[in-house]
Amino acid sequence: MKRRIFSGIQPSEVIHIGNYIGAVRRWVEMQDDPEKENIFCIVDLHALTVPQDPNALRARTLELLALFLAVGLDPNKSLLFVQSHVTVHAEGAWLLNCVTPEGWLKKMTQYKDKSQKQETVLTGLLDYPVLMAADILFYDTHEVPVGEDQKQHVELARNIAERFNHLYGETFIVPEPAIAKAGARIMGLDDPSAKMSKSLAHTKGHAVRLLDDPKEIERTIMRAKTDSGSEIRFSKDPAKAGVNNLLTIYQALTGKATEHVEADFTNARGYGDLKKAVAEVVIEKMEPIRRRYSEIVSDSAELQRIMRMGAEKARAISEPRLVDVKQKMGLIMTA
Ligand code: TYM
């Protein structure tokens, strides 16, 4: 039996190289693995957990689908769909809410961080990991490829699955997080002590965004914060986090082993050479994506077709599990 893969990304703000390296790039690789059946979702309901401008959200959802295609996700190889087009997610989240202790949600690191930054904390923000658990569990998912920051949420989905199975009998597969070896946590280029984040993607110097032009990419990387030393090696020392982050980006995009990455810089004349090399590989990877994106994004009929096809296939997979869960929980199903 094939292993089912499910992952998602929010259409909030713009996608940056952290999202690309930690998640989307790996999804593209998984497509050609005959052992895997892949489902990738644009999680627009998750985006609503913080206030959104409705028109901007609609536009970004379509742009993200075009970006999926531009990076190489293929709707004939992977199931691509928009979360809100399949009602199982919201309905499933409600059912899972009713087996999830609220204490589990209040402990989530991301909730604690994000809620501190909001004046009014919406209930959806607290409940966000339960919706994510519904995404994963109603598709009988085995593996969830995500960046390091989502690991805790996948673990919560495992706990919810186990609790449900314990209360109502074997129902859900208990999914595994699949975290990349290189690049699972890309740090901000302006502040390598904090993760690169979509909410800061418009702050000058923080992130390379997927559709930035080569000049902008070069400017951002050349300005990246490093330290006053000159040694170019991977390091866990917080003082060297900037250099470590640049090497991690270089490694993830070139696919080279650690010793080969370090060997590339043994004759470097300082961090300037490192930054130039990183800018070159990032530009080389991003240029074809930007070109393809500009061709795809205007074909709204094709984007609509892909969304419809994806939603139909997604319903066919998830609806039977929803019926099963409702029956087990004591809800009446009419014939
Ligand atoms: P989101 O939209 O914040 O991020 C999408 C993916 O990018 C990864 N990521 C990073 N990886 C490396 N370095 C970084 N700085 C970095 N920032 C983000 C994230 O780990 C993620 O894999 N809740 C999820 C979306 C979601 C989901 C799901 C994922 C909803 N339902 C079901 C998997 C399965 C989120 O907000 O990701």
State residue 13's pLDDT score: 79
State residue 306's pLDDT score: 98
State residue 239's pLDDT score: 94
Contacts of 287 (CB under 8 A, 6+ apart): 214
Alpha-helical segments (H) within 20-107: 25-30, 44-47, 54-71, 88-97, 102-106
CB distance 46 to ligand 1 below 6 Å: yes
CA of residue 250 to ligand 1 center, whole Å:
20
CA distance 7 to 186: 18
Please give the C-alpha separations between residue 5 and each of 83, 93, 177, 242, 292, in angstroms, as whole numbers.
16, 19, 10, 33, 25
Pairing of strands 143-146, 79-82: unpaired
CB distance 8 to ligand 1 below 6 Å: yes
- Of 195, 225, 313, 328, which one is the catalytic site residue? 195
Domains observed in the chain: 3-179+299-328 (3.40.50.620), 214-295 (1.10.240.10)
CA of residue 329 to ligand 1 center, whole Å:
30
CB distance 208 to ligand 1 below 6 Å: no
State residue 12's pLDDT score: 87
CA distance 188 to 33: 32
CB distance 135 to ligand 1 below 6 Å: yes
Q: Whose CA is nearest to atom 1 of ligand 1?
A: 9
CA distance 195 to 294: 29
- pLDDT, tens digit, 9 for 90 and up, residues 149-197: 999 999 999 999 999 999 999 999 999 999 988 889 999 999 999 999 9
State residue 109's pLDDT score: 96
> Which of these, 84, 6, 89, lies nearest to 322 by C-alpha position?
89
77 is catalytic: no
Per-residue pLDDT of the chain (335 residues; tens, 9 = 90+): 899 999 999 998 789 999 999 999 999 999 999 999 999 999 999 999 999 999 999 999 999 999 999 999 999 999 999 999 999 999 999 999 999 999 999 999 999 999 998 889 999 999 999 999 999 999 999 999 999 999 999 999 999 999 999 999 999 999 999 998 888 999 999 999 999 998 888 899 999 999 999 999 999 999 999 999 999 999 999 999 999 999 999 999 999 999 999 999 999 889 999 999 999 999 999 999 999 999 999 999 999 999 999 999 999 999 999 999 999 999 998 87
